[in-house]
Amino acid sequence: MKKTENRGWLAGVATRLVGDHEVLVLEHRVLNAITFLACLVTIVSTGANIVLGNPIVMTVLTLITLVITAVLYLFSRNARRWQPLTAPAIIAFLLIVAVTWLTQAGTLGGGGYYFFLVVIAAIVLNRRALVLIAATVVGLLFVEMFWSSLIVPYPLPKQRFPDVAVSWAMCLTISAVMVYVIYGEYHRERKHVAVLLKQVTAEKEHALDTTREKQQLLSMVSNDIANALAVADYSAALIKRKNRNGEPLDTALLDQLQFATGNISEIIHSVRLMEAVKQGRVALSLDPVRLKDVIGKSLRLFSEQLASHHIALSLPSDAQQAIEVLAEPRMLTNHVLNHLLSNAIKFSRAGAAVTIDIYERDNMVGISVKDTGIGIPEEMLPHLFNPLVKTSRPGLNGEPGTGFGLMTVKNFVELFGGDIEVHSIAESSDSEEHGTVITVYLKKSESVGEG
């Protein structure tokens, strides 16, 4: 607990001295830290010069340096933009170190150690300044070699050791602190970037998922409405032909046309309901649905297509069709059974057979649609419910495919608490029993009522 409190206290002090990491960028906080540490160095150096009795010029120099570094720190701490301050700060540090070198015995004194601090500052803030630092060092060495009289020596030999020792200890300590601060700020920035990256990735994945769902929804609505429009178009064409030929109007055709338009309205309603359920705005209510009613509506929609494609349809017995399952009736009709029948017709040749079967398994009811069509390629079977893999293919009469049909069926079946199975043998396998069987399993209403 104490460690946590100490860390919190230290973090608060660091924030006050170098700035808040949520407000200032890393480089700005590092500049604040460097100028603040430079102030500390000059304070210690001034005290050391006074205690050691170094020449007055050295003490005056450290006092001037203290004023300069304090001004730089205050400017940096209160500035909104850190970039314009980096060049003046590094140049000021260089001038201070160069003068210290000349007034504190050159290579024999402690001034040279401060170059390490300037190099660290340049690496973080402005790497181009490294060239200027190198040129300054070479220039000072050149001066010491050829104009040594410009270098101010220590008045007494015994003054050298404590001055160098203090300078060495300070530079080593301050260098370690600077590296620690810079690493800490870098580590904090890295964690912040990692969190941002995670958020951006999650938002991107959510956007992609939303786009895929919208594409699937659009495909589903288009396919379902297309089936209803085909019936409406066929009925309208027959009505126009009878009217043109002066034949009496068949009310059954008007009923069929009305059924098709009503079916479109049901599709739109069920899609809106599904979106509301997914968004958590409403809870889906599952009611007992008699399968005979569902099959009857689907047959009314696809009877003309079955006849025009010369496909024979076999139905379950009346007893089987009397079974009730738990579902939303419009969704079960329009988005499950209609999809399965549409696919069976789309991928079956003339003269093929489609069979609807119903059977019970434990507390579930299996509803299967079996066709003797061209089947599904073996390599496509594992990816039928994967939205990232393209599985669309046109029907035998050029009907467009989207690849979302079975995924749509699966989504609605799972919404009802059920499951789906697909078995298929492709016509290209040379098997005489080619075709597809798709079975959906739904809860039986009687078993739920008894539980």
- Sorted by where each begins, the domain ranges of the chain are 14-204, 289-376+401-451
**Cβ burial 148-172 (10 Å sphere, 16+ → b, else e):** eeebbbbeeeebbeebbebbeebbe
Residue 447 predicted with pLDDT over 50: no
pLDDT at 302: 81
- Helices first, then strands: H and E counts in the chain: 14, 7
What mean pLDDT comes out for the span 130-154?
82
Please, which residues have CB within 8 angstroms of residue 404's CB and are 6 or more apart in sequence?
215, 216, 219, 220, 387, 392
Please give the backbone phi and psi of residue 290, each rounded to the nearest 5 degrees, phi first: -80, 125
Query: 289-376+401-451 adopts what CATH topology?
Result: Heat Shock Protein 90 (3.30.565)
pLDDT at 355: 92
Q: Residue 62, SS3?
A: helix
Q: Residue 80, SS3?
A: coil
d(CA 10, CA 16): 10
What value, to the nearest 5°, has the Cα angle with vertex 427 and ends 422 and 433? 70
Residue 406 predicted with pLDDT over 60: yes
pLDDT in tens, 17-67: 777 767 777 778 777 877 787 777 778 777 777 776 766 777 787 788 788
pLDDT at 262: 62
- N-to-C CA span, the chain: 53
Of the candidates 343, 325, 355, the one whose C-alpha atom is nearest the C-alpha of residue 419 is 325
pLDDT at 123: 73
Residue ranges in 309-399 assigned as alpha helix (H): 318-321, 329-331, 338-346
pLDDT in tens, 252-278: 666 666 666 666 666 666 666 666 666
Residue 217 near residue 275 (C-beta atoms within 8 A): yes
Residue 133 near residue 122 (C-beta atoms within 8 A): yes
Query: Mean pLDDT over all residues of the chain?
Result: 77
What mean pLDDT comes out for the span 99-106?
75
Cross-strand pairs, 327: 287
Map 131-191 to HEC letters: HHHHHHHHHHHHHHHHCHHHCCCCCCHHHHHHHHHHHHHHHHHHHHHHHHHHHHHHHHHHH
Q: List C-alpha distances in Å: 40 to 36, 87, 148, 263, 290.
A: 7, 21, 30, 82, 86
Return the top range by mean pLDDT from 139-148, 221-230, 272-281.
139-148
What mean pLDDT comes out for the span 369-388?
83
Cross-strand pairs, 290: 324
Whether the full predicted model's pTM is greater than 0.75, yes or no, is no
What mean pLDDT comes out for the span 72-94?
79
pLDDT at 84: 78
What mean pLDDT comes out for the span 221-238?
64
d(CA 446, CA 326): 9
